[in-house]
Every structure is written in C-alpha cells, then in structure tokens.
Amino acid sequence: MKLSDVLKIQILGGFRVSCGDKVIGTGMARGNARKMWLLFGYLLMNYDRAVGQKELIDVLWYGTEVVNPTNSLKVLVFKLRRELDSLGFRPGGEIIQSAHGTYFFNNEIPHEIDALEFEKLVETASGGARSEDERMELLYRALSLYKGDVSEMAEGHPWLTALRTRFGTLYRDAVTKLRTILTGRGEYQKVVSVCNDALMRQPDEEVYFYYLISAYVAMGNYSAASEMYSRIKTLSRGESTHEQDLNPAEDVFLAAARLSQSGMPERDLSPGELTSDLEEKLDYVSGFFVEYDDFRQIYRMVARQLGQAIGIARLSVYSLKLREGAKVSEEEKQVHLRILENAIAFMLHYKTVFTRSGPTQYAVLLIDVSEEDALDFTDKVREYFETHRQNQDFSISHGMDVLESAHIRQQKRMNGTNSSVGMKTGSR
C-alpha cells in the first residue's frame, strides 16, 4: 500500500491530517476553522460509534448560545468534508459519514491515528507474558509517537481537558515503566536521554527531575544532579517561563536534596574518616573554603560551640548493607536507601540534621543528645527500616563518633590520643 493510499492523522503535538505529501490541519486554520477540527477530533476519538447531533452541539458550542445550532453543525460538517476533499484521498463525504441524524468517522478506510496507536502500544507493554526486551521495544515505539500534548483545537472544552489528561498520564506512565527497566539494567545514560526528552514534552512534570537526579547520582555525576535540583527549585519559585507555577511534592524535594550533594565522597566512610573529612581545617584559607554544602557548615558551627552553648554532639552514620552473595537490582537498592532515609527523617525529634554522605550512607548530626538517647534514636531507625524493608537481603549498619572542636582534636593528635568511638547498632 502506498503512502497516498493511507490517511495519516496526528493528534498528539498538533492536529494534522495528511495523505502523501498533502497536509491540512490546525496549523493552517484560523478563527472558526478550529471548531471544524474540534469536530473531526471528537469523531475520531469516538471512532467506534455514531454521535448524535445534540451531543456534538454540546461539545462544539459548550457554554455559548447558538441561534440555529443544527444548521450551524451542518455547515461545519460541510466545511470539514470540503477540507478533506483537498487531500485527494477519498471524498470528504466518504470519510465523515451521516445516518439518521448522527455523524461518524468511517473507520473502514485505510488510516492511522497516532493517539490510538500510542495508547495501544502502552497497554500492550503493560500486559503479561512478554519479555523485558519486548516491553522495552513497545515503550520506545510508544514514546516516539507522543510529539506533545493534544492540540489546542479550542479553549475551555471539558472534553479536550479530559483527553489531554488521559494521554498525558499514559505518556508519564510509559516513561516510568521504561525508566524502571533501564534502571534495573544499569543503563543510566539511557534514562537521562528518555527523561530529558520527556521534559521537552511535559516540562512541568516534576517526577522526571527526580528520575534524572537519581540517574546522575548512580553515574557519579553529582554536579549534574545538583544542577537538576537547582532547576526544580527555580521552577517551584515560579521562575519558570511556563504560565503554570510548580509546587513540587515534598518527597521529590527531600530525595533530590539528599542526592544532589556536591562533593559527596565517592565511597562510604567510617565515622572517624567522615569526621576527618567534615571537620574544619585550622589554616586561615582552608577554613573558609567549602567543598560541599550545609551539613559541613553546620558541623563546623556545632564544633565551635562545644563546651559553650552546646555540651556534646555526636556524628551517627547509617549504611545500607547487602547480605553477602545476594543479588539485587539497582531499583531495589534505591528503594531501600529511600526507606533508610525515611527512617531517619521520621525520627528527627531530637536536635538533628542529616545528609547523604556516601553512595549507600547517611550521616546524622545529634546535638545535645546523651549516648542513651543516641542509641535509642538508632534503635528506632533500625525498627522502622526492618518494618518497612521489602527484601530481607538488606540491612543497616551503624557507627558513631563524638564531635570535638578542631583545636581539641589537633591537640589530642599531637599527644597521640584519639577520642573516636565506633559501635554497631546491635551493641546495646
């Protein structure tokens, strides 16, 4: 079958109808002509039934008064058929047919509708009895069809709003499904490509920012993760060029904030090593040089106040551990890191701050907390994690170090002593 024998209809990202090299659509339409394409779009989306005149009038002239709506509808149908005639495919009256006061799209003619093919591909990929490779191929094909939102054929029509929501949700779900497959395979660069493409089509969809941040962190590209986090914060303040201001979900912000620490160590450190990395250096220049963010600054401030406003402070470190020999996906690891993060966040009733301090590690700064309370904090973190974990191969380890000012630490080092204390969570 030649291209000139098929009517190709694009609804996603602009309403276009083509046959061979001839194209018509909303891009060439002006004024009331858009209502003509709204009529065509409605008949296409209801391709499996005949639509009555009253229903069409309610859709086309929603919220407005029309002197002779039945006659106006007939005039609109006539204009649409004449426009379709210009393609040289089939007579317009054969494409848009009528019977007993109803109108319908003739779905017996050779045709392709991008929106329906897109929907079919996403639904097929979601079905069972398919390999991961097959599902991935279907999802890639589906995403390639989504050129953008359903065309603005008319403003303020509830039917169009529902249609945009329907296909927009399908697209987001397809991106999420493909991202899950790629993440499980460790193909993070492909995740970045898919999500950047998705942001071009749905620039206000905050979940894509989280997917990108997670992928960048998994690749060790912390500067890109930090930049992405800055972008979502800018959007949330209404500094976007888009008309709709964003209000990103709290959980996306929390996850992004933990993942986008610039200068984060590339390996998990012991409590003593982390203390050394965080502490303030005594020479004037390095004392004012900050390599990574607020946690280090708070740590330094607390260390300066020890023995004055603050009596004692502790650095508590929690690491995600995997049972030796166990094999898990990257997605499972990220899920359990999030459970550990939530476990810590939900226990912050003490004077505490915490940060992502390594690839599988979180550091908590406990201020004016006794050793007993610090261990109680750890017990509650462990209890939360064990209650919520989804895979018994994961566990957490814990270590703790007592904070001292840089001057006291240097003095102890000169005297050949060290105050670092390490302990496991289960040592109570």
Mean pLDDT of 321-333: 89
pLDDT level of residue 121 (50, 70, 90 thresholds): very high
Return mean pLDDT, the chain: 78
More confident residue, 176 or 224: 176
* pLDDT above 90: residue 428: no
Say what the pTM is: 0.57
Q: Distance between CA 411 and CA 408 in Å, rounded?
A: 5
* pLDDT above 90: residue 196: yes
Q: What is the pLDDT of residue 368?
A: 73
Q: What is the pLDDT of residue 367?
A: 76
pLDDT level of residue 124 (50, 70, 90 thresholds): very high
What region, left, alpha or beta, does residue 165 occupy, with left being phi > 0 and alpha being psi -120 to 50 degrees? alpha
* pLDDT above 50: residue 242: no
Cβ–Cβ < 8 Å for 104, 49: yes
| Percent of the chain with pLDDT strictly greater than 70 | 72
* pLDDT above 50: residue 426: no
| The residue type at 47 | Y
Q: What is the pLDDT of residue 293?
A: 56
Q: What is the pLDDT of residue 264?
A: 60
CA distances (Å), 88 to each of 7, 144, 156, 392, in order? 10, 28, 33, 65
| The residue type at 161 | T
More confident residue, 277 or 153: 277
Strand-pair category, 51-52 with 102-105: antiparallel
Look at residue 147 and give its three-state secondary structure: coil
Q: What is the DSSP string of 172-223?
A: HHHHHHHHHHHHHTT-HHHHHHHHHHHHHH-TT-HHHHHHHHHHHHHTT-HH
* pLDDT above 70: residue 224: yes
